Chains A and B, each alone.
Chain A
Amino acid sequence: MSQATSPSPAKDSRAPAPPAKSATPAAPKAPPAAAAAVAAAAPIDLKSLEQKLKDSKAIGVMTKLSLKNQVDDLVAQFRAFHSGRQPPTLLQLRQPYELLLMKVLSLVQDQDPNLAKHLHDSRDYIWGVLADRNKFLANL
């Protein structure tokens, strides 16, 4: 019984190898799948988003300028919030943020669906940047 459970040293050295081998290919398999999923849902950074909006042909020049005005106004409100001025509170800022995002989405969704998807996927990320003082100051 003990012989059956304790194999030869040669077998011993090989025994751990198969699990290690099988674990090795399994490990790289998971990361590409996970990476693809993460990449698909990866939020776009604010600078890239701004550039994509500037480059998009889905919206006209005056619309872009008008959107920029509204983004600047909202960012100014967040700047005031982070400098300690209230109201508006963070909760109150969420509504104009969502409204502005919806406006942009409605403008680009028909002619620039990729940008619309990027925007949609980045909704929470952008809010996270705006709402967090350190991230806000680092990004804007």
Chain B
Amino acid sequence: MKSIAVSILCACASLAALAADDPGQRKDLTAVIALQGKPCGEVLSYVAKGDNDFVAACKDGNKYHVYVKDGRVVVEKQ
């Protein structure tokens, strides 16, 4: 039972890692941050915290929490 739980955890972790390397998602986040007029350059990496909820790390060192709330995309500097 414990090994099954560990396997599931590993699978989830690797899925998350895969998602964090998706260039399409990075591009999407880069565009969203630029649309809000925030400095970024481009998103180099991101962590998915949930559905449409990310923390993006930019080339210029800025970090942003990008998420959807009440149908609106919110970009908050961290």
Contacts and interface: CB of A to CB of B under 8 A. Distances in A.
B71 interface: yes
Interface in A32-75: 59-63, 65-67, 69-70
B7 interface: no
Contacts of A70: 35
A62 B52 contact: yes
B28 A63 contact: yes
B16 interface: no
A61 B68 CA distance: 11
Categorize the interface residue count of chain B.
Answer: 10 to 19
A107 interface: yes
A65 B71 contact: yes
B47 interface: no
Contacts of A66: 31-32, 35-36, 73
B55 interface: no
Contacts of B35: 63, 66-67, 70, 103
A131 to B, nearest CB: 24
B28 A62 contact: yes
Which of the four size classes fits the interface of chain A?
10 to 19
A45 to B, nearest CB: 24
B51 to A, nearest CB: 11
- Of A62, A65, A70, chain B has the most CB atoms within 10 Å of the CB of A62
B31 A107 contact: yes
Contacts of B31: 59-60, 62-63, 66, 107
A18 B26 CA distance: 69
A75 to B, nearest CB: 15
Interface of B: 24-25, 27-29, 31-32, 35-36, 52, 66, 68, 71-73
The 5 A-B residue pairs whose C-beta atoms are closest, nearest first, are A60-B28, A66-B73, A63-B31, A66-B35, A62-B32
